[in-house]
Chain A
Amino acid sequence: MVAERTLPKFDTSSVKITKEEGLMLYEDMVLGRFFEDKCAEMYYRGKMFGFVHLYNGQEAVSTGVIRAMRRDEDFVSSTYRDHVHALSAGVSAREVMAELFGKETGCSKGRGGSMHMFSSQHNLLGGYAFVAEGIPVATGAAFQSKYRKDALGDKSADQVTACFFGDGASNNGQFFECLNMAALWKLPIIYVVENNKWAIGMAHERATSQPEIFKKATVFNMAGHEVDGMDVLAVRGVAQEAIARARAGEGPTLIEALTYRFRGHSLADPDELRSQEEKEFWAARDPIKRLAADLAKRNLATAAELKAIDDKVKAIVEDAVEFAESSPEPNPGELYRYVFAGD
């Protein structure tokens, strides 16, 4: 195991949150966690197939960033590890689960599957199965906002795009090319690197000459921040600042969230290369437990209130499974539907 990076110190007591916000963040993270646990169960029961990449452990990043944005107005783009980003963006657990079951009621009509979650209603731009390919697309969405504002004179066009990807993706040319364009044209975008230390079996340190990804922003004259990705309040704080900057037309930000996935790369991964010691180090930093403790310390939530949220979320996830199970298969007569616009 490589020595762990010193996590950036961030005084979360400086982050002001209301009780309502605190509970909202908690519920969003718990939904992500329980949903993914249920996916693992359904995968092993043969209800869903293919490559299924779970998000356990990284919830503070999705919640911290996306829940600081304007739902259904701002844009979100993800990778193949996309279920929880979709949920944070407002896609219902029913629609995400139904997609995983390959049903017509899924957010991608059963055509996409685990790695291809889309929702035009919630401005979720995907769901990209290939590493780094979402970065240019997200950059294009941000360009669109700038275009509307500056070329079409639409003052209300101040949407921000959040673009999520992994440490592995940050070694791909598309990442560097987009950082350059986004900074050059001051696009309203936040690039969020979820540095979970591994790209399948490739340790981050073995794949990059400069492991501190946030520093790569500086050569593009872009703001770059590192943040403790296991602390939702810290992520939220950094995200709020970046969103405000983007919305004000002051350009993009690169946020590197230091985080960890609690499961293998996908449900097909034997996960043999990560050390027990490393897994334990990060398991002790579970972002959900951390927020629960924070809320208690601030007297914003009682154990009973959190338990009530847990129960509510469990019911949501059970309902999503029932919905997915009882939903219809796509119509075989519509095999060619959606190939072209208009159908």
Chain B
Amino acid sequence: MAETLMFNALREATDEEMARDNTVFVLGEDVGHYGGSYKVTKDLYKKYGELRVLDTPIAENSFCGLAVGAALTGLRPIIEGMNMGFLLLAFNQIANNAGMLRYTSGGNFKIPMVIRGPGGVGRQLGAEHSQRLEAYFHAVPGLKIVACSTAYNAKGLLKAAIRDDNPVLFFEHVLLYNLKEDLPEEEYIVPLDKAEIVRPGKDVTILTYSRMRHHCTQAAKTLVKEGYDPEIIDLISLKPFDMETISASVKKTHRVIVVEECMKTGGIGAELVALINDQLFDELDAPVLRLSSQDIPTPYNGMLERLTIVQPEQIIEAVQKMMASRI
């Protein structure tokens, strides 16, 4: 076991996969000499050379398209979005080409690529650098969407994403890079399509992902002291959802709260609630509750920013409220 920071866990995953398969390469802004803005690719160019750790000009749409072309023809690109928000400039290449080209080509081509980088609301970074983008991409057919949340799952999931033959949007969180954890010495893979039961419980199912997982576990400390027994599930895969794990939990607790950082309108939770209602309505003892961030651009002011995203106190209140209505 070795204590590893999250950014280093991601770096190890990249390094191991590049060593294992010489078609894997990294491209993006400042991934080479600078080492990536969160140091995920630090010094990899020294080991693999400048073509395998390619510093690109600031041309997101075109270098994403370039990666699609490289993937179609046999390479396995990993794009680092210096901030995932910048990929809005590449929406066309990600949606039309990465996402849909396998289908429109009738299966002629596959697009094994990973698009990874920091997403989420940071600390007073302003609206453009504190985005909640996962939902914007959610409707695009053909994309897998994953959000890591610990050093352990970051490493194992990234390796799985690199090996997957589909385009994977891989969300890290800008405030989680310094999480620390003991990681196994031996190689491991975490499957892309499995949710993680963070804390088993019997009272209520809390479905969450990314940084909100940590808000939920923090809230759980108080809740457990108060005698509640919540089950916390980290979705990991935002598309497709692991309905097997979710439904097993709902059948046990009969109550669901969704806690997400993305906006409420058209959010990840919106789709999740709809699916639960479609598939598990008879299991529910109460309407599903949804805690999302506010439908506004992330404000710069610290107090407004705090009000914009879900805080642990709100999760505690939501559980208390839901349990109070128990029949």
In the complex, chain B residues whose CB is within 8 Å of the CB of A208: 57
Q: Say whether B129 contacts A50, CB under 8 Å.
A: yes
Q: Say whether A111 contacts B129, CB under 8 Å.
A: no
In the complex, chain A residues whose CB is within 8 Å of the CB of B89: 130, 133
Residue B141, interface by CB 8 Å: no
B34-92 contacts to A (CB < 8 Å) = 34, 37, 55, 57-59, 61-62, 85-86, 88-89
Other-chain contact of A130, B30, B85, B302, B307 (Cβ < 8 Å): B85
Residue A129, interface by CB 8 Å: yes
Q: Say whether A202 contacts B34, CB under 8 Å.
A: yes
Q: Bound complex: CA of A131 vs CA of B37, how far in Å?
A: 15
Q: Bound complex: CA of A173 vs CA of B65, how far in Å?
A: 13
Known contacts A115-B129, A168-B57, A171-B57, A273 near B34 by CB under 8 Å: yes
Among B88, B124, B294, B304, the most chain A Cβ lie within 10 Å of the Cβ of B304
Q: Say whether A132 contacts B308, CB under 8 Å.
A: no
In the complex, chain B residues whose CB is within 8 Å of the CB of A133: 89
Known contacts A169-B58, A273-B33, A330 near B129 by CB under 8 Å: no
Interface of A is mostly: loop
The number of residue pairs between A and B whose CB atoms lie closer than 8 Å in the complex comes to 117
Residue A206, interface by CB 8 Å: yes
Residue B203, interface by CB 8 Å: no
A3-29 contacts to B (CB < 8 Å) = none
Residue A259, interface by CB 8 Å: no
Q: Say whether A49 contacts B307, CB under 8 Å.
A: no
- Output the least CB separation between B136 and chain A (Å): 15
Q: Say whether A335 contacts B126, CB under 8 Å.
A: no
In the complex, chain A residues whose CB is within 8 Å of the CB of B304: 110-111, 330, 332, 335
Q: Say whether A111 contacts B30, CB under 8 Å.
A: no
Indicate with 1 or 0, residue by residue over A302-343, a CB within 8 angstroms of chain B CB atoms: 000000000000000000000000000110100110010000
Q: Bound complex: CA of A108 vs CA of B125, how far in Å?
A: 14
Residue B128, interface by CB 8 Å: yes
Q: Bound complex: CA of A49 vs CA of B163, how far in Å?
A: 38
Indicate with 1 or 0, residue by residue over A113-138, a CB within 8 angstroms of chain B CB atoms: 11110000000000001111100000
Q: Bound complex: CA of A201 vs CA of B88, how far in Å?
A: 22
Residue B296, interface by CB 8 Å: yes
Q: Bound complex: CA of A111 vs CA of B301, how far in Å?
A: 6
Q: Say whether A115 contacts B303, CB under 8 Å.
A: no
Residue B312, interface by CB 8 Å: no
Other-chain contact of B57, A50, A172, A273 (Cβ < 8 Å): A172
- Output the least CB separation between B94 and chain A (Å): 16
Select from chain B the residue with minimum beta-carbon distance to A268: B37
Select from chain A the residue with minimum beta-carbon distance to B36: A201
In the complex, chain B residues whose CB is within 8 Å of the CB of A200: 29-30, 34, 37
In the complex, chain A residues whose CB is within 8 Å of the CB of B299: 110-111, 330, 335
Q: Say whether A129 contacts B59, CB under 8 Å.
A: no
Residue B300, interface by CB 8 Å: yes
Residue B123, interface by CB 8 Å: yes
In the complex, chain A residues whose CB is within 8 Å of the CB of B189: none
Q: Say whether A102 contacts B34, CB under 8 Å.
A: no
Other-chain contact of A49, B62, B123, B128, B296 (Cβ < 8 Å): B123
Q: Say whether B296 contacts A339, CB under 8 Å.
A: yes
Residue B127, interface by CB 8 Å: yes
In the complex, chain A residues whose CB is within 8 Å of the CB of B58: 131-132, 168-169, 171-172, 199, 202, 207
- Output the least CB separation between B164 and chain A (Å): 29
List 8 extra interface pairs beyond A115-B128, A172-B59, A200-B37, CB under 8 A. Answer: A50-B129, A111-B300, A112-B300, A115-B126, A172-B58, A200-B30, A202-B34, A273-B33
A-B contact pairs, 20 of them (CB 8 A): A50-B124, A99-B300, A102-B124, A102-B301, A110-B304, A111-B299, A112-B126, A115-B128, A130-B86, A130-B128, A171-B59, A172-B57, A199-B29, A200-B29, A207-B57, A273-B33, A330-B299, A332-B304, A335-B296, A336-B296
Interface residues of A (CB under 8 A from B): 49-51, 99, 102-103, 108, 110-116, 129-133, 168-169, 171-173, 199-202, 206-208, 273, 329-330, 332, 335-336, 339
